[in-house]
């Protein structure tokens, strides 16, 4: 009799243990600690319960890591975009500077051309002056070597300004060569009216190349 009672108690305890294990598994599944929803779905429907659907700690870590990777990628893309904007601005600045340098180079080239033209003009004027000066010098020397009457006849046939320039050059050469000037004597041999005009123009008119 006692053996049968012991067996009965053992069976009852085993049943209780199975029930407790079943209830524990059911509760853990409901809380989302374990995944046994397919097994306990009839029980959920029987009692009208909604099992816990929150992710596990491992799933949460994966989500957080994924979010961190996404943030890193977003920051990287933002950094690359800022870098691109900076490079675009530098390129724009370089183009602006190149345009300024080209304009300055063009202005310098124009100034160079203008300076060269001025130099050529000056050289042409200087050469013209030298040629005129040499011509007046030659005429003055030739007249000085002639007889006064012959020299005066040539002077009378010249235009007034040429006479003035030749007389001035003769005086200059006479001073340079330390010889007596013939200009005053030439004027005294010229017709009085023409001599007066020459003297007046010589006094009033500056030195000219004409």
| 37-46, 70-79, 173-182: range with lowest mean pLDDT | 37-46
Look at the chain and count its residues: 210
The conformation of residue 126, written as its DSSP 8-state character, comes to: H
Q: What are phi and psi of 36, to 5 degrees?
A: -140, 35
**Which has more confidence, 63 or 130?**
130
Band of residue 146 on the pLDDT scale cut at 50, 70, 90: very high
* CA 201 to each of CA 77, 153, 162: distance values in angstroms, whole numbers, following the listed order: 91, 19, 11
* CA 174 to each of CA 104, 137, 144, 148: distance values in angstroms, whole numbers, following the listed order: 54, 11, 10, 16
Q: What are phi and psi of 162, to 5 degrees?
A: -65, -40
Contact between residue 30 and residue 49 where contact means Cβ atoms under 8 Å apart: yes
The share of the chain scoring above pLDDT 70, in percent, equals 74
Contact between residue 202 and residue 166 where contact means Cβ atoms under 8 Å apart: no
pLDDT digit string (tens) for 55-100? 444 455 565 666 777 888 888 888 888 888 999 888 888 989 888 8
**Which has more confidence, 114 or 43?**
114
Residue with tokens 């079943």, as numbered in its chain: 22
Task: Please give the distance of CA 43 from its chain centroid, rounded to a whole number.
Answer: 81
Mean pLDDT of 121-129: 75
**Which has more confidence, 33 or 57?**
33
Question: Does the structure show a pLDDT above 80 at 192?
Answer: yes
pLDDT of residue 57: 46
Question: Does the structure show a pLDDT above 60 at 186?
Answer: yes
Question: Does the structure show a pLDDT above 90 at 175?
Answer: yes
pLDDT of residue 164: 93
pLDDT of residue 55: 47
Contact between residue 164 and residue 206 where contact means Cβ atoms under 8 Å apart: no
The conformation of residue 180, written as its DSSP 8-state character, comes to: -
* CA 106 to each of CA 97, 101, 112: distance values in angstroms, whole numbers, following the listed order: 14, 8, 10
Task: Please give the distance of CA 96 from its chain centroid, rounded to a whole number.
Answer: 4
């Amino acid at each position: 009799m006692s053996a049968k009672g012991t067996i009965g108690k053992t069976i009852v305890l085993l049943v209780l243990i199975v029930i407790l294990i079943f209830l524990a598994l059911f509760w853990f599944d409901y809380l989302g600690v374990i995944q046994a929803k397919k097994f306990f779905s009839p029980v959920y429907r029987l009692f009208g319960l909604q099992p816990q659907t929150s992710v596990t700690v491992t799933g949460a870590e994966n989500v957080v890591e994924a979010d961190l990777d996404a943030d890193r990628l977003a920051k990287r893309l933002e950094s690359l975009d800022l870098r691109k904007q900076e490079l675009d601005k530098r390129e724009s600045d370089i183009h602006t500077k190149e345009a300024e340098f080209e304009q300055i180079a063009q202005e310098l080239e124009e100034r160079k051309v203008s300076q060269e033209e001025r130099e050529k003009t000056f050289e042409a004027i200087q050469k013209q002056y030298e040629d005129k000066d040499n011509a007046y010098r030659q005429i003055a020397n030739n007249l000085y070597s002639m007889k006064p009457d012959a020299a005066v006849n040539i002077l009378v046939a010249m235009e007034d300004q040429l006479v003035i320039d030749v007389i001035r050059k003769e005086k200059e050469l006479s001073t340079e060569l330390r010889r007596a000037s013939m200009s005053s004597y030439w004027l005294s041999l010229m017709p009085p009216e023409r001599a007066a005009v020459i003297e007046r123009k010589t006094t009033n008119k500056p030195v000219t190349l004409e």
